[in-house]
Amino acid sequence: MRLCEPLNQACQIGNEYMKSAKAFFDEFSKQYEDQNRYKYAWYKWTVDNIIKQIRIERALIVDLGTGSGEIAARAASKFPKSRVIGIDVSSRMISEARKKVKGLGLKNVRFLVASMEDFKAERADIIVSHLAFHHVRNKQPVITWIYRILPRKGKVVIGDWFKPTMKYEEEIKELRMKNPPLARKFDDSWESFLSEVKGDYQKEHPKEYAISQTKLRNMMKKAGFRKQRIIRMPLATFAVVVGEK
Rg over alpha carbons for the chain, rounded to the nearest Å, is 17
Answer yes or no: is 175 within a domain. no
pLDDT for 2: 37
Answer yes or no: is 179 within a domain. no
Answer yes or no: is 156 within a domain. yes
Ramachandran region of residue 216, left (φ > 0), alpha (ψ -120 to 50) or beta?
alpha
Q: What is the pLDDT along the chain (245 residues), one digit of tens a residue?
A: 333 333 343 344 435 555 666 666 666 656 655 667 889 999 999 999 999 999 999 999 999 999 999 999 999 999 999 999 999 999 989 999 999 999 999 999 999 999 888 887 889 999 999 999 999 989 999 999 999 999 999 999 999 999 999 999 999 999 999 999 999 999 999 999 988 876 665 666 667 899 999 999 999 999 999 999 999 999 999 999 999 99
The number of domains in the chain is 1
Answer yes or no: is 180 within a domain. no
Answer yes or no: is 162 within a domain. yes
pLDDT for 5: 37
CA distance 45 to 40: 8
CA distance 63 to 85: 6
Answer yes or no: is 147 within a domain. yes
- Determine the structural domain holding residue 64 and report its residue range: 9-166+195-244
Answer yes or no: is 90 within a domain. yes
- Is residue 63 within 8 Å of residue 131, measured between CB atoms? no
- Is residue 93 within 8 Å of residue 117, measured between CB atoms? no
Paired sense of beta strands 227-232 and 238-244, if any: antiparallel
Answer yes or no: is 105 within a domain. yes
pTM above 0.85, yes or no: yes
pLDDT for 107: 95
CATH number at residue 18: 3.40.50.150
CA distance 39 to 192: 10
